[in-house]
Structure 1
Amino acid sequence: MDYKNSSIHSILFYCLALLLILPVHGQSEGKMNGSLAATGIYLKNLHADWQPPGREFDLHSMDIREFRFGFSNVSFEHLQGIKKQVSKVKISGPDLSLKQLTIHSIIKSADWVTEEKIKRLKKRESIPKRSIEAIAGAIDLYMVDHNVLPASINDLSVKQYINMEAPPLNDYSWSYSLALPDQIIAQPTQINPVPKTKSIYFDWQSRSFQMDPVQDSLYQVPMVVWDYKFEIQEISHLFSSSIDLELSPDQTGFDIMLNRGQFKISNITFTATPGSELGNQSRIHLPELNLETNGVVLNGNLNSQPIIHKGRGNFRIRNFEIKIPDGLREEPEIQSLLETLGIWNNALKVRLFELDLNLINEFTGDVGFKLHTPFLKVSIKGDFTLRQTGSRPDVILHRTEVKIHPIALGVRKWIRDWEKKNGKMLTRQGATIVLRIEGSIDNPMIQGF
């Protein structure tokens, strides 16, 4: 660490704090000026590793090749009058640079892929199992009254031992049949969201659900040594601003001008690998994340909510990708979703996500949004008005157009099915759906709906 720069940084902090808290009861006029070319912190080849107590299999480490944090081109001016004080500060920063961050962890823990499969299995089976339990109770009552087993579900329904219109039996994604005195069977129907779900068997003699051998094996999976790795190639943050303060006995007013700001991350990667099972590796990769602001002007005082007068901001990510482990890819719900989206390589990808905001003045602005994926494209363009009252501004959309272009056949089919189910026909230009939106962003109005 550069101790000289650190000392200068402390002096700068003290001077700025002094300007902000300087009392207003002085009786004579005064003036103070100051400047500082640069100050900051610099680290190179930082390494740390640790092992938690009582965890012999767990090991963690962190490496940073280079880290910089600092300010530059700092200047300040303070004018003290009899009735008020004025402070002006111009500053470039804080500027942040981080290169080659790696966090690596080896942890022995439960196999979360298997735990997720078990959780999804239980959720899929919750309705049919509750229904079977209700049917089993109805059969007991039927036998007390008739001294014979019912021949079918219809017998129980007609004689009002069960109500097929009440939950959980009114879920028509499952059908039920009796094979007494051996079994009660639940089977997924054609309208089941996951038609490949296996049938469920209830053994009447033992009064228990039969466990599928494959499902049974899920509960026998031992603890796994996980290899977690989080890497960032580079982070950079550049900032330039000016601050004007006006202090008086009645209030403290301020004006802030954010001339330019940029926050950028390059190549974020996170992987989680259970043992040596590379097929069940989870992976998240983001090549680029970028946030920019320009010409942001706001003012106010310490007793009220600040007002933003103008400014522009842009947030963008490119080629964001999530790789799904093979074990989860085989789950019926996930498999069905990926097939609908036209994904065959276990990787969900977002080619572009971009949000652009332009505040023209404190009341009006325009907005743009883009989402590009291999299965869907969405774009939004429109104007908005802004009411900066209270703690939460109210945003009203005007002449906002949303264009949705489905690419994957499964997505097109899903939209058509939605239209049929709801009796609505979405407006189209060719294959692109076009919606026009007005009103508060909390409760927008879609024309035609």
Structure 2
Amino acid sequence: MVTVHIDRLHGSVQAPVLGSISFLNEVMGRHPGAISFAPGAPHPDTLPEADIQRHTDRFLDHVVARGSSPEQARRLLFEYGPSRGLINDIVAEALRRDHGVDVPPESYVITVGAQEAMLLVLRALFRSSEDVLAVAHPCFVGITGAARLLDIDVVGVAETADGLDLDALERACGQARAAGRTLRALYVAPDYSNPGGSRMSLDCRRRLLALAAREDLLILEDNAYGFTAAAGAALPSLKALDTERRVIHIGTFAKTAFPGARVGFVVADQRVGGSAPGEGPERLADVLATLKSMVTVNTSPLSQAVIGGMLLEHGGSLDALSRAKSALYQRNLRLLLAALDRHLGEAAPAGIRWNRPDGGFFVRVRLPVPADTALLEVSAADYGVLWTPMRQFYLDGTGDHQLRLSCSYLDPDEIEEGVRRLALFLTKETGR
């Protein structure tokens, strides 16, 4: 029997960041009775509204109305389809109408979730070991994990109350140059980031774009949680403010529609130069589509049809599609913060504090002791409550004394009881 030695495999297979999600799933499986604040998944109540057949039929009607025969439209569902996607026009119109992103469908690529979009963008942009990726710190493990798979070096830039520390980002650019390297791109989630929950102010967004222009920096914008902003509180995305095509915008329908479809998208309208006219790709989206043809070939036409039909049924509007979901997550976040105030509040042991985001799925709690896997096991086994250690979201181990609470997957009574258990756990265990 052949044995494949671990030392002969790519180094990423042993990277802790790649095992973080499976670890949490394993803990949840061992403690099925625990209330879990760990998963950042959509609430189950938001899923039954997806009527697969009705949405598919609605999309096919749209295709026929654009000039295809019913048989041609139906065949789209059973064939591979273009790597670039089938619903680009629907998604592009929704972003133009609702979010001021005025980019033609040709600059969109429909991907297998946002995760594939991140992988494709990183593969396209990072040519050599001299290129460095900057990420907001703490950072979503999906982007740092993808960078690890591709052997891309990553540097963290701290978040502040108003978003990214732009002075630190400018210093990172200078440090890279001094080392003979290039800080090629920055990954950032400006609205209610996972896991930090911070939101970038409008002024910070504008200053970030100005800094990117000075430093010749590309920005990878992840907008998974922007839809959870309270009514009237939405801020323009970086892409909507982008006048120089420096922003590559990544989106997903996992939260606004449902995650099982595995449909995301990337907006990449950057021009590609250097080749003879007519002989090379015209825009970065062309490059990403070519790479995708070697990775997943195409995104499932059936899944695209369902998402396209859902959008069309809501008047082609992302805001209309996500309005009820946004209200549910706003409610859950208010309940979580109120329960923390009620059960901990003034009675919280010294050194325990939490942030107060006004949108998104996540609240970050700081502890006077390490929030490690051993403490999580005590929390799950003895108190029946689960959470996510923050260490995995940091590049330098500075998150050891923090945990993340997600409110998205729970009902109001579970939030209340879960925080009661959490408060008992924190009060008894962190003072030892």
TM-score bucket (shorter structure): under 0.3
TM-score by length of 1: 0.18
Higher helix content, 1 or 2: 2
Higher strand content, 1 or 2: 1
Bigger radius of gyration, 1 or 2? 1
TM-score by length of 2: 0.19
